[in-house]
Amino acid sequence: MSGAVPASAPGGAAKPLQIVARVHAMPPEHNAGAEHMLVSMLRPLVERGHDVSVWLSRYGKAHREYEYRGIKVIPLESRLDFPSAVRRADVLLGHLETVPSTASLARGYGKPLIVVCHNTHPPTFRDMAAGGTALAVYNSRWMEAEAEVFFAEYPKSIRPADALIVRPPVFADEYATKPGKAITLINCNPEKGGEVLEALAERLPEQQFLAVRGAYGTQILPDLPNVEIIEHVDGQDMRDRVYARTRVLLMPSSYESWGRVGCEALASGIPVVAHPTPGLCESLGEAGIFVDRADVDGYEAVLRKLVSAAEYRLASKRAKARSAELDPSADLAAWCQAVEALPA
């Protein structure tokens, strides 16, 4: 990243803030879109001089404090004083399963609460509504619209005090590489399209496939000679271990509120063939090649068409153009300013 400014810059906080986040898991042990969205949102706050700490709510492999991309991470057993950290904090942040408990502590200590939303499921909005949320962060216009529909049925008093759209930030220069030769699926559970990958690998025995083990869900990892299984990958290693070997990315997901890995692939001009969820349509835009996940014939036809150098070149050009459109600078500037305004 570049262009970081201090917290004392015009529009920034008068002094560095203590920002305490409560999440269930973090990289490098747990690598999923929600966690890497959070990492890419917290990094600029650290660069602006704020004291950012992430406290884990689940027991994992890490037992001592560590730093991930400049962010201090405190595993569950390493310290037992999370409520004391809340008491000292200027701002609290929660997402996913940690929102109800973090909201309760925020209410008790009178702290502003940020809720980062990663899906449009009713419990996400309901948990946020119960917490006196100071700032809701949505990852897409679609999610914002879904939240509006949800809150239309409730009193205005339970709405978040403020809301902001931050598209999951992808710093393209951290992912851009020369594409490889494989067709890749990242996270091979049924919902992400593990069965589609297996069917395509059986139909295209001459084509190399990569099956990247995901952070959650039952993984469908085909035992086929043209499928290489890559174990769970730390997000900061994705460029070299995955995208440098990928020619086309598959995203036949039954649900995606955005689709971060698709945007990571676009940085290298890698075409993305995806099921047209509202989130994927918004994130991939003109670069997306959309095929219903039930239409394996359609996926096969598209992959065969992309064998053509001319077709691939055009698809790759659209991918790079969309990646440039998704530059996160403006979103992150608005995010930092919104956070720094909360204690006031």
Per-residue pLDDT reduced to its tens digit, 34-45:
999 999 999 999
Q: How far apart are CA 266 and CA 318, in angstroms?
A: 9
Confidence band, pLDDT 50/70/90 cuts, at residue 157: confident
Domains: count for the chain = 2
Confidence band, pLDDT 50/70/90 cuts, at residue 7: low
Residue 3 domain-assigned? no
Statement to judge: residues 43 and 73 lie in one domain = yes
Question: What is the structure's pLDDT at 8?
Answer: 47
pLDDT higher at 336 or 30: 336
Percent of the chain with pLDDT over 90: 86
Q: Is the per-residue pLDDT at 33 higher than 90?
A: no
- State the residue range of the domain holding 208: 172-325
Q: Which residues of 308-323 are buried (b: 16+ CB within 10 A; e: fewer)?
A: eeeebeebbebbbebb
Confidence band, pLDDT 50/70/90 cuts, at residue 3: very low
Cβ atoms of 252 and 188 within 8 Å: the answer is no
Cβ atoms of 90 and 114 within 8 Å: the answer is no
Statement to judge: residues 208 and 88 lie in one domain = no
Nearest in space to 97 (alpha carbons), one of 152, 23, 166, 199: 23
Statement to judge: residues 105 and 190 lie in one domain = no
- Reduce the DSSP state of residue 55 to 3 states and report it: strand
Question: What is the structure's pLDDT at 1?
Answer: 47
DSSP 204: -
Statement to judge: residues 156 and 89 lie in one domain = yes
Statement to judge: residues 146 and 287 lie in one domain = no
pTM: 0.89
Statement to judge: residues 303 and 273 lie in one domain = yes
Statement to judge: residues 223 and 270 lie in one domain = yes
Confidence band, pLDDT 50/70/90 cuts, at residue 343: confident
Statement to judge: residues 139 and 181 lie in one domain = no
Residue 28 domain-assigned? yes
- Reduce the DSSP state of residue 58 to 3 states and report it: coil
Statement to judge: residues 193 and 278 lie in one domain = yes
Length of the chain equals 344
CATH code for position 314: 3.40.50.2000
Tell me the H-state helices in the chain: 33-47, 82-88, 99-109, 122-129, 141-151, 194-203, 238-241, 260-266, 278-284, 296-305, 309-325, 329-341
User: Quick one: CA torsion of 338, 31, 50, 110, rounded to 10 degrees?
Assistant: 60
Residue 38 domain-assigned? yes
Q: How far apart are CA 188 and CA 43, in angstroms?
A: 29
Q: Is the per-residue pLDDT at 263 higher than 80?
A: yes
* Two structure tokens written together for 264: 């990571």
Q: What would the pLDDT profile of 280-331 be if each residue is shown by its tens digit?
A: 999 999 999 999 999 999 999 999 999 999 999 999 999 999 999 999 999 9
Statement to judge: residues 238 and 285 lie in one domain = yes
Confidence band, pLDDT 50/70/90 cuts, at residue 129: confident
Question: What is the structure's pLDDT at 4?
Answer: 47
In order of 99, 207, 238, the CA distances from 94 in angstroms are 5, 43, 26
Residue 87 domain-assigned? yes
Which strands, in side-by-side order, build the sheet including 272-274?
227-230, 209-212, 182-186, 246-251, 272-274, 288-290
Statement to judge: residues 336 and 253 lie in one domain = no
* Two structure tokens written together for 305: 């068409």
Question: What is the structure's pLDDT at 15?
Answer: 84
Residue 6 domain-assigned? no
Question: What is the structure's pLDDT at 331?
Answer: 97
Q: How far apart are CA 217 and CA 207, in angstroms?
A: 26
Q: How far apart are CA 91 and CA 162, in angstroms?
A: 14
Residue 138 domain-assigned? yes
Statement to judge: residues 58 and 141 lie in one domain = yes
Question: What is the structure's pLDDT at 130?
Answer: 77
Residue 12 domain-assigned? no
Please give the distance of CA 295 from its chain centroid, rounded to a whole number.
27
Q: Can you tell me the mean pLDDT for 56-67?
A: 93
Residue 178 domain-assigned? yes
